[in-house]
């Protein structure tokens, strides 16, 4: 059988991916350092958790409906609308310091990100075919992680000088996205769903009326997505505030050299250098190098056992992050790596699983329902775990929050095992 010839990617594919890099640069540049910023302004962790929760809920539930508007008005118009919400909101961070002002501003950014989120992946889906879709989405996923890796690094370096510089950098990225979209993005030809927003909600209700599926989504929201988002809510702040970042800089310097260590650090008033928490507290740089390798290993194993193994690795990562406070700070790198391995195993596998348990014509509907599970986890993550982190810090043991997250993950493993033993797994369809 002859190997299928790879179709070339049209120009809009590369335009869309360049936009994705810039958006993730701006989004994660702000989000990863946001906890450190509110610490700088003197707000409580309960206040921080409230904003984080609402921000994540908007970011991951708005995409359920924004795709419908993109179908009706076109990807390009809805992209431009998202930028018009994004850009003023980021600039307002420079002007406002009140809690209500910051909260409303971050909610506007979350709303804009939610509008934007499905449009680039939708573009990639529209311009790829059976010969190049795997490569196309692989490139897209790499672009996501490039932006998510460099955004916090650049923003961290800039906020060490002035927080306003970090916000301006994010705003410039959005401005460039606007110009690229306006002048170079061409609407891709595609099959229009042609359903109304009312029909979309009716279909979601239909999917969620399957009580077994709904219960499964609730378990995922509470026991997977909630601790998952807690990692990104807390890790940068924990490293920057609770670990010896001067010692971490020396560890970095010893292993990777002075130039590399300086890139991830900043010089303090006394002339010493400290690692910046947000520059190392994400998983993008690990995923860029190892996702394909990990995916190839786990693709031949059953979905639920694979997912559970991913949760187990995340649990080990949480425990290790806690140990970094009471042992050597460099242990934090191992904790982040273990979490990243768990993320690479669990997150793609469970999303693929949900797609394949749906009839082919309802795959998008089921994945839309999965956004609700993701949003539920985001809602709980800030309200529970960021607040809990603040409490443990007051008690002198900030590392305890990671042990609490590990227990949550262990309960999640137990809950999913109970679910599959009691109610059974879902059947993965082949067509």
Q: Quick one: CA torsion of 307, 352, 384, 342, rounded to 10 degrees?
A: 40
Q: Quick one: CA torsion of 145, 121, 223, 317, rounded to 10 degrees?
A: -10
Specify the fold of 196-431: Growth Hormone; Chain: A; (1.20.1250)
- Residue 3, classed as helix, strand or coil, is coil
> How do the domains of the chain map onto residue ranges?
10-194, 196-431
Q: 84 with 24: CB under 8 angstroms? A: no
DSSP string covering 275-292, please?
A: E-HHHHSSSHHHHHHHHH
pTM comes to 0.91
Domains 10-194 and 196-431 share a fold: yes
Q: 174 with 87: CB under 8 angstroms? A: yes
Q: Which residues contact 224 (CB under 8 A, 6 or more apart)?
A: 311, 346, 350, 377, 409, 412
| Phi, psi angles (nearest 5°) of residue 282 | -120, 175
- Residue 274, classed as helix, strand or coil, is strand
pLDDT attached to residue 336: 97
Name the stretches of the chain with pLDDT < 70. Answer: 1-4, 190-196, 355-356, 358-368, 427-431
| Phi, psi angles (nearest 5°) of residue 420 | -70, -35
Structure-block tokens of residue 180:
């690229």
Query: With respect to CATH, is domain 10-194 assigned 3.10.20.740?
Result: no
């Amino acid at each position: 059988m002859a190997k299928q010839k790879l179709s070339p990617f049209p120009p809009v594919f590369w335009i869309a991916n360049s936009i994705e890099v810039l958006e993730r640069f701006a989004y994660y540049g702000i989000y990863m350092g946001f906890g450190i910023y509110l610490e700088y302004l003197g707000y409580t962790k309960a206040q921080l958790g409230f904003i984080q929760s609402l921000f994540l809920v908007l970011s991951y539930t708005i995409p359920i409906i924004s795709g419908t508007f993109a179908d009706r008005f076109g990807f390009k118009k809805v992209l431009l609308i998202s930028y018009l919400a994004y850009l003023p909101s980021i600039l307002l961070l420079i002007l406002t310091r009140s809690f209500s002002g910051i909260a409303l501003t971050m909610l506007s950014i979350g709303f804009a990100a939610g509008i934007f989120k499905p449009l680039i992946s939708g573009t990639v889906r529209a311009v790829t075919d059976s010969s190049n879709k795997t490569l196309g989405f692989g490139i897209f996923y790499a672009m996501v992680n490039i932006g998510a890796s460099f955004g916090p690094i650049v923003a961290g370096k800039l906020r060490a000088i002035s927080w306003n510089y970090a916000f301006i950098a994010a705003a410039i990225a959005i401005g460039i996205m606007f110009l690229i979209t306006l002048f170079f993005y061409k609407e891709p030809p595609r099959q229009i769903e042609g359903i109304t927003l009312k029909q979309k909600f009716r279909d979601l209700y239909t999917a969620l009326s399957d009580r077994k599926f709904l219960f499964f989504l609730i378990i995922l929201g509470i026991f997977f997505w909630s601790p998952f988002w807690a990692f990104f809510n807390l890790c940068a702040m924990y490293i920057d505030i609770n670990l010896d970042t001067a010692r971490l800089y020396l560890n970095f310097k010893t292993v990777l050299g002075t130039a590399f260590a300086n890139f991830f650090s900043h010089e303090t008033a006394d002339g010493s250098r400290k690692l910046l928490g947000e520059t190392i507290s994400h998983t993008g740089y690990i995923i860029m190098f190892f996702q394909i390798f990990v995916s190839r290993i786990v693709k031949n194993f059953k979905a639920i056992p694979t997912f559970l193994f991913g949760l187990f690795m995340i649990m080990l990562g949480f425990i290790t992050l806690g140990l970094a406070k009471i042992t050597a700070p460099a242990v934090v790198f191992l904790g982040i790596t273990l979490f990243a391995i768990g993320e690479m195993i669990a997150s793609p596998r469970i999303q693929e699983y949900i797609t394949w348990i749906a009839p082919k014509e309802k795959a998008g509907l089921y994945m839309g329902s999965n956004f609700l599970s993701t949003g539920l986890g985001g809602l709980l993550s800030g309200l529970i775990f960021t607040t809990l982190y603040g409490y443990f810090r007051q008690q002198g043991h900030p590392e305890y929050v990671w042990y609490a997250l590990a227990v949550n993950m262990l309960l999640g493993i137990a809950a999913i095992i109970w679910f599959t033993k009691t109610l059974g797994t879902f059947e993965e369809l082949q067509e």
